[in-house]
Structure 1
């Protein structure tokens, strides 16, 4: 029986990837690093800052990576004040709350970004459990963030549904054994299916999602 919904943040709750790309360009352009759509999709989306900056600037120190990551996240927060929830999200959250389902957030973002984004979206009180990159020893694609969320929710994997927009996040959710929807805000459906997505949807108003939800709550 369904007891919880678990959401990724960027690209899932909100189509924020274009603004993240802008922030990376602002911070890394002066360093001579070219960040375009292909680099963002193949080397940034769904990854932790540690992995991202280590890969893009391998000749820099770990401390420099952290400083640049902080600068990038500050730039993102500065330009992201007018984002809106993905279509259908607010209706889904209201539906879940009426049925006493638990709602969790699992993100590779730092806690400052998570708090900022939830405030911008008007969702500061929507999640009973929040797992960020600072809560776990290993971020996505490792399943540890999702396993941590399941533990904090006091449920098993078969009692949850997860929502992810990146191959990295999908690997993490499926590695934890959770039925997962791929959100098509930035990555083609075939890429998400290749790493285990059970279904793919454009947004939270999709009929395919509601068919599964109605079936699971009736079980």
Structure 2
């Protein structure tokens, strides 16, 4: 396992893997959106449980990198709505935060994607985010053009920490596991990578 603290270049990637297909997580790996998720969660809780005084820093620390299903389970006693309704409300605030934010993309990421594309690598985005949120980010940062496939929460029968999204990705790319390499930052994403039996690196460059 590799832990990478600085956004890699193409040469850095070549040094750790011979795979020609790179699978990226989105939140916390490609884009620094974890603070926006915390803000969206705070706004959601203020709407659904206004009597409680939640603090954004605590929410960020508690739920960094966790999927919305795990967040909902942890806060279910504070909520009076179904998971689907919770997700709808949170996505509303998350997309609003994206539209109001400055660029959430580091130029080094764009440079890396451009290098990979120029060298004819296959590039996949594999995210546990909802399709609407993922596409909003990709369009805002003009990233969609780099990816051969984009898999969101709705595109697999299971979400991370299940390995299913990554297994679906290599199937859609028509490649073997040894031809792929994953970049992930969160515990759930890393667990998904491990269980997929695909080589991976931990992306710590936004921490």
TM-score class, shorter-chain normalisation, is 0.7 to 0.9
Which gives a bigger RCO, structure 1 or 2 (Cα 8 Å, sep 6+)? 2
For the aligned residues, what is the CA RMSD?
2.0
Q: What is residue 127 of structure 1 aligned with on the other side? A: 147
Q: Which secondary structure state, in structure 2, belongs to the residue aligned with residue 125 of structure 1?
A: helix
Unaligned 5+ runs, structure 2:
1-17
Q: What is residue 52 of structure 1 aligned with on the other side? A: 71
Q: What is residue 211 of structure 1 aligned with on the other side? A: none
Q: Is the 8 Å Cα contact of residues 26 and 127 (structure 2) preserved in structure 1?
A: yes
Report the alpha carbon displacement of residue 46 of structure 1 after superposing the two structures with TM: 3.3
Distance 1:84 1:70 in 2: 22
Report the alpha carbon displacement of residue 185 of structure 1 after superposing the two structures with TM: 4.9
Per-residue displacement from partner, 1:30-61 (whole Å, max 9, x unpaired)? 4137354444344x333332332122114756
For normalisation by structure 1, the TM-score amounts to: 0.77
Counterpart of 2:34 (choices 7, 12, 17) is 17
Distance 2:119 2:64 in 1: 33
Unaligned 5+ runs, structure 1:
188-219
Report the alpha carbon displacement of residue 139 of structure 1 after superposing the two structures with TM: 0.7
Aligned positions, number: 185
Distance 1:84 1:186 in 2: 11
Report the alpha carbon displacement of residue 142 of structure 1 after superposing the two structures with TM: 0.8
Q: What is residue 95 of structure 2 aligned with on the other side? A: 77
Per-residue displacement from partner, 1:120-167 (whole Å, max 9, x unpaired)? 111122111111111112111111111110111111121111111101
Distance 1:111 1:94 in 2: 23
Per-residue displacement from partner, 1:75-126 (whole Å, max 9, x unpaired)? 1111113333235211111111111110000010010011101011111221
Q: Is the 8 Å Cα contact of residues 21 and 35 (structure 1) preserved in structure 2?
A: no
Distance 1:150 1:33 in 2: 44
For normalisation by structure 2, the TM-score amounts to: 0.81
Q: What is residue 178 of structure 1 aligned with on the other side? A: 198
Q: Which secondary structure state, in structure 1, belongs to the residue aligned with residue 28 of structure 2?
A: coil
Q: What is residue 136 of structure 1 aligned with on the other side? A: 156
Q: What is residue 175 of structure 2 aligned with on the other side? A: 155
